[in-house]
Chain A
């Protein structure tokens, strides 16, 4: 029945259609390109920035974004709202594809996408435990960005290798020629600091609050 509602939105220009992200995904799932256009207008900048950060080349980053939207259009039906926000989903796919692109370029094979798609599938794995999650605000993102800058250079490097280059902890240890245990604790500490900066659901943070 929901689909009839979305269909009724028709093919009105996406820019002027005040559909939510989820409605846009539903439109795309129903084969309506307006859904993709709406998602593009809202999130393409962030997706492009992430892709560019990972692949480090503008033309390639654009290819990645285009592929992500083609995939979204094909597989919009797979989006599961209980697993996270639409933008989180788009960025996860973007990251996976961008890292794949870099790996393919370096002839490292495609094993990352398998690992990443598993991770994506496991994203927020508590079944039914999720209330509707809000997308991050610009202010929250800015806090994390500043917290990232405040990390020690070693901590930041470990996070960047993991997130933007898709390396595992032991790959990072090898790359930096440091003990695995050191890398593990570095990543743990850094992630907790970033979470504290975000100020969400941290028992530590709650304890610190005056």
Chain B
């Protein structure tokens, strides 16, 4: 629409009589147009006069009492649009006053329950992880090609001992006991000693009682192992053994 056409709509606009599309167009035009804004201002006075022009009638005195009662409470409740269920509003405000302490207590309890739920969820996740580990151990022990290797303590740890179950397809499950504690910058490393040289299987540290449990995969293409061994190495492990040997066990030939 042109400015003149839009300006002609100002009267309908202040009456609220513009159809949606026209109204949108008019309102988009308004901020940039001084003339139309002035028209809207002066025409608004007309709608105000129209509002006042209805023949004056006196409402009943009851109405004043209802309005005054409605604004007596600091926080009024929405009134139904039909009749006047003030008793309902009063009952609601009484109920709110009575239940407020419980509301606060409920909020505390809800917060505690949420914390408990978080803890339980974390525990459940741990259990899931453990279950997956146990399942893979069981499937390894039940594998048709599983082999057992017993490892004996060497002079560095005469009391230590270990047992390993390994399968080319399922990996290795290794349990050791009575291993000496290691310094923070050291760790034990488990090796397969193969016809092509030592192959690292895992790096681990024992718990405070000297026990350790390792589950690790095996490269199926690994050369035929002749023995398994545990050496003490820098933490993080090394590509080939450098430190003292703690445990050794021969792999029975197939």
Contacts and interface: CB of A to CB of B under 8 A. Distances in A.
Contacts of B56: 45-46, 49
A62 B60 contact: yes
B122 interface: no
A31 B74 CA distance: 5
B57 A45 contact: yes
A191 B15 contact: yes
A70 B70 contact: yes
A135 to B, nearest CB: 8
B48 A88 contact: yes
Interface of B: 8-20, 22-23, 27, 30-31, 37-38, 40-60, 62-64, 66-68, 70-76, 78-79, 81-84
Given A85-B48, A91-B51, A94-B51, A162 B12 contact: yes
Interface of A: 28, 31, 33, 35-37, 40-41, 44-46, 48-50, 52-53, 58, 61-63, 65-67, 69-70, 73-74, 84-85, 87-88, 91-92, 94-95, 101, 104, 115-116, 118-119, 122-126, 129-130, 136, 140-141, 143-145, 148, 159, 162-163, 166-170, 172, 184-185, 187-188, 190-192, 194-195, 198, 200-202
A140 B45 CA distance: 10
A103 to B, nearest CB: 12
Nearest to A35: B71
B84 to A, nearest CB: 7
Given A52-B54, A66-B79, A168-B18, A88 B44 contact: yes
A62 B54 contact: no
Given A40-B67, A45-B56, A48-B63, A200 B42 contact: yes
B81 A67 contact: yes
Given A33-B71, A45-B58, A70 B79 contact: yes
B12 A169 contact: yes
B52 to A, nearest CB: 5
Contact of A130 (B12, B41, B50): B41
Contacts, number: 202
Nearest to B35: A203
Given A143-B49, A144-B52, 15 more contacts: A46-B52, A46-B56, A119-B16, A124-B44, A140-B49, A144-B53, A145-B49, A163-B47, A163-B50, A166-B16, A170-B19, A191-B12, A195-B46, A198-B42, A198-B45
A194 B49 contact: yes
B81 A104 contact: yes
What are the nearest 4 A-B pairs in CB distance?
A: A191-B11, A33-B71, A144-B49, A36-B71
B8 A184 contact: yes
A124 B62 CA distance: 35
Contact of B51 (A50, A118, A148): A50
Contacts of A73: 70-71, 76
Query: Among A35, A94, A168, which residue has the most Cβ atoms of chain B within 10 A?
Result: A168
B17 A169 contact: yes
A62 B64 CA distance: 10
A44 B67 contact: yes
A54 B14 CA distance: 18
B70 A66 contact: yes
A209 B30 CA distance: 28
A46 B81 CA distance: 20
Contact of B50 (A37, A62, A126, A148): A148
Contacts of B47: 163
A141 B53 contact: yes
